[in-house]
Amino acid sequence: MTRLLTVLGLVLLIALAACTADDPDAASQSALTEEPAAPDDVEAPAEDEPATEPEAQSALPPAGQVPVAAEDPAGLARQITAAEQAIRSEHTSEEEMASAGHLQQVTYRRLAANPEWRDEVLAQVPQELHGPVVAHLDASAGLASLTRPQEQLPAWRIVEPPPADELLAYYREAQEVFGVPWEYLAAIHLVETRMGRIQGTSPAGAQGPMQFMPGTWDAYGEGDVNDPRDAILAAGRYLSANGAPGTMDAALFAYNRSDAYVRAITAYAEQMRADPRLYRGFYHWQVYYRTVDGDQLLPVGYDGTS
């Protein structure tokens, strides 16, 4: 069983507790805050296919540029539409996907910070995007409610994550062995350490890309807690032991004793189950940290350990 610990701060939308040791008073904290070949249901564009549709493409930030969310509902609706359509398009290049995923992230952060814009934004995005927008907003708001802005930046290192296809192969392996849908493992990885971008031990002692407490790792882990494959397989083993996939809510609650956490993981996972291409967008979410002076992007190369 686990117990939620107040986290140091928020990476992206949230830094959350992870699975804990068997001691009910022990808690872990998310560092927060996505097969060698692309699988059939996460398609890569063919070389002779056109790039993302011009309208969506033109709204994406240039490659490598940090996107800035609009400061009004109409602008935010245009950005959300562009990002969501690009992520869902089979013609989006990997470079465009990186821009679209990051834009998706910052727009939902802005909307979560301005919930009074919700109805106006929904009125201006395509009908088919209403469900995803509401799911993202509710997940973001729920996770954000568990944390508070921090005065200091965290003692983390931010690194490049393993390749998306490599991680997907590990999620699928865990699904095959333990029956846990790969999308739920990807969603946990996203929330816990932004798919391995964050390297750091929580104040409670949680470690690795899936944030295990030492006692929990001793019981469910095999190999190296910091190894992505070993950690993902251990997460599958832990969730299976706690009821997954039959009772996913109970298994997720065992991973982190928070209803908001359960709802957020479920929202992200179910979106990927509805359209596996969304995994590519989530993979490109970056590490943001919520401070008393506002959100702080922690880029690859950030080192708060020295």
pLDDT in tens, 156-193: 999 999 999 999 999 999 999 999 999 999 999 999 99
Residue 33: what pLDDT? 37
Mean pLDDT in the chain? 85
Residue 4 is given by DSSP the state -
Q: What is the pLDDT of residue 147?
A: 83
Mean pLDDT of 204-232: 96
Query: What pLDDT is recorded for position 292?
Result: 94
CA distances from 158 to 6, 66, 148 (A): 21, 16, 21
252: helix, strand or coil? helix
Domain ranges of the chain: 54-297
Residue 17 has pLDDT above 60, yes or no: no
CA 71 to CA 213: how far, in whole Å? Answer: 40
